Amino acid sequence: MRQMKLKTKIFLVLIAFSILPVLLTSTGLLSIMFRASTGYSGLITDYLSQFVASDIERFTDQINQSLEKISVDYSLQQYIDVPLENTTDQAYYLLAIRPLTEYFLRTNPDVASVLYLDQLGKMDEESLSRSGYWGIDFKSDSVYKQVFLQNEKLMIPPHLTQYNLSGRDDVFSYVFPVANMKSRQNQAWLVAEIQTSRFMQILHQYSTGDKGIFFLYDPKSKTVFPNDKYPLPQRQFEEFIQANVSTAGLEERTSAQVVKIGQSSFEFTLTSLPTMGWKLVCLAPMEEISHGLQYSRILIWLISFISLLIAWTMAYPFMSRLLRPLTLLRRAMIRTRPGSYQKVTLSTGRDEISYVLETYNHMIDDLKLKEEEITESRMREKEKEVLQLQAQVNPHFFFNVLETMSSFAAKNQGDAVAAMIKSIGRMMRYNIRQDGGWAALHEEIKYIGEFLDIHSYRMGKKVPTTIVVDKAVENVPILKLSIQPFVENALKYAWHPEDEQFRLKIQCKLQDSQLHVLIVNNGMPMPEEVLRILRETISGQATDNPDFFRGHIGIINVYRRLSLAYGQAFQLTISAPPEGGTEVNIRIDFTNNVG
């Protein structure tokens, strides 16, 4: 040491005070970058898996609910007991069932067809675009024979339909057992043939990288869908499935974790799909993160090498200045968390450190974008729920109208029939038009007028009604069918044809920057028990009374739709005035984005 030249000693001292801190700092930064990158990418992968699973569950649950409504239909229950030889009764009940199946197919365009099979050997197929061929024996068919053994719901893996004359469809078969309400035993099955393209669309709507993939796995049949897009060699993939997915319980859902398959690393998530009995598996490659870390290591070694060459001319303040951007990067990464993303302010430059900081800022922008997409997706789900509630139209009203028109037609009262047809046509056009579920207030009032006209034909007597709408609120946007259910409820429970004193009043006005809608009648008051349950429901208190909700679905439906649309800006009160009758008051804050 004593024999070394001063230049050499200074050089070694500069190395100790410059190169070593750089190496130590860079090692810590790499560790932080890796943990932060894998943590946030894992969080995003986990969110994506939950959204994909939610979309699949929502879709299959919609199919399940629709089939459940068909299974309890009176005509279908009668059809179950019809012998195979009695073709006359079969045709009669099939005609009665067909509107339900056609409505199901039209509202679920991804369902290619619906099959009916039962233990007596009867079978039927309903499709909007295909023609069935009944030369196939379903009980001996390799795919459909398992249907006759099912007492539970089952999603049969993808297969080609064998009974279509005009072409075969690649479908999942969702088996829904139908219980005979008389024997309380499963004696028939409804099979919804769901096109595989629908599941492909759901699985591919979120990106998990060039080699990442979402796929479905059936533990019973050990089927993988899709089976043509493995993210790695098929043998390694099958070994991974056997070791990590096949042995997992159906009720499990794993958060994102890093697994190694062969020479590749993936972020792996597993989510169960209870309705269809399958599992959703996501494999997202770690190559992008690994490549970034390797590049960072190379960059750090390059900086260290350059520092080694010029250390004897460098001063320590310059080294501190060089490391300052990396220090800012580390602080920003530590402070970054969901909802609060810290970017690093960049100075103009094109060196390696500037590139790392620019890459980090791009990553922060991507994380913000992903968070905004997640928020937007949640808003879309809220809008979907509003539209689904909007679509729950009570068919009994329209059935009663048809019966009334039939009665008037039998009496050759053509003018009345024509008037009812025009009214019901305008009501249906109002219901199904593509307007996002919103309409001007005066249109909703006009709809109520059509409803009252039809009601007068049905009952043979007009209901004395007063409608007052301030001009200031005539064009205020309001949710469609948000007032009519309260009018219908008043006529159903408070009005009687022999009550000459009955009066119904509908008033819409602007008061204290709020839209007030009053529906008041002086008929029979609402029972105290019904009024109590409605008030508890509106105040948010839990009420376990399914029979009550089935009988008052219209009011509950409107309350839920208005709550979803307006939030805290909406209030609903239902009261029984001392003088009798019922008063409904809907208040919507005008200053809180009405409409």
The pLDDT value recorded for residue 174 is 93
d(CA 287, CA 38): 11
Token couple for 511: 């008061």
Q: Which residue has the tokens 């309409």?
A: 439
Domains of the chain: 392-589 (3.30.565.10)
Strand residues in 139-221 grouped as ranges (E)? 154-160, 170-180, 185-195, 213-218
**Biggest distance spanned by C-alpha atoms of the chain:** 127
Return the SS3 of 475: coil
Q: In the beta sheet, which residues pair with residue 242?
A: none
H or E element that contains 517? strand 514-521
What is the b/e burial string over 162-200, where b = at least 16 CB atoms within 10 angstroms of the residue's CB? ebbeeeebebbbbbbbbbeeeeeebbbbbbbbbbbebbe
What number of CA atoms fall less than 13 Å from residue 294's CA on the CB side? Answer: 6
Strands 504-511, 465-469: pairing kind? parallel
Alpha-carbon distance of 553 to 543, in angstroms, equals 14
Residue entry with tokens 């794993």: 254
Beta strand spans in 219-367 (E): 223-225, 253-261, 264-273, 278-285
Q: Which of 392, 400, 440 is nearest to 420 (CA)?
A: 400
Helices 20-71 and 196-204, axial angle in degrees (round to 10):
150
By the 8 A CB rule, do 125 and 113 touch?
Answer: yes
pLDDT confidence of residue 118: 92
Separation of alpha carbons 566 and 422, rounded Å: 33
501's CB contacts (< 8 A; 6+ apart) are: 522
Predicted TM-score (pTM) of this structure: 0.45
What radius of gyration, in Å, describes the C-alpha atoms of the chain? Answer: 34
Q: How many residues does the chain have?
A: 595
Identify whether the C-beta of residue 441 lies closer than 8 Å to the C-beta of residue 475. yes
What are residue 94's phi and psi, to 5 degrees? -65, -40
Output the tens digit of pLDDT for each of the chain's 595 residues. 555 543 455 556 666 666 666 666 767 666 676 666 666 666 777 777 888 888 888 999 999 999 999 999 999 999 999 998 999 998 999 999 999 999 999 999 999 889 999 999 888 888 887 666 566 788 888 888 888 888 889 999 998 887 766 667 789 999 999 999 888 899 999 999 999 888 888 888 765 555 557 888 888 888 888 877 666 666 666 677 766 665 554 445 566 667 776 667 777 778 888 878 888 888 777 766 666 666 676 776 676 666 666 654 554 455 555 556 667 777 777 777 776 777 777 665 666 777 777 788 888 888 778 877 776 666 556 555 545 545 554 565 677 778 888 888 888 888 888 888 888 888 888 877 877 778 999 999 999 999 899 888 888 889 999 999 999 999 999 988 889 888 988 888 888 888 889 999 999 999 888 999 999 999 888 878 878 887 787 776 645 555 555 556 677 778 887 888 888 888 999 888 888 889 999 999 877 544 4
Residues 6 or more apart whose CB falls under 8 angstroms from that of 189 comprise 115, 116, 117, 118, 147, 148, 150, 175, 176, 177, 178
Contact assessment for residue 287 and residue 211, using Cβ atoms and an 8 Å cutoff:
yes
C-alpha distances in Å from residue 301, one per residue of 360, 469, 565: 19, 77, 57
Q: What interhelical angle do 20-71 and 352-390 show, nearest 10?
A: 10
193 within 8 A of 169, measured Cβ to Cβ? yes
Write down the pLDDT at residue 329: 72
Amino acid making up residue 359: T
Q: Are 445 and 506 in contact (CB under 8 A)?
A: yes
Q: What is the DSSP letter of 136?
A: S
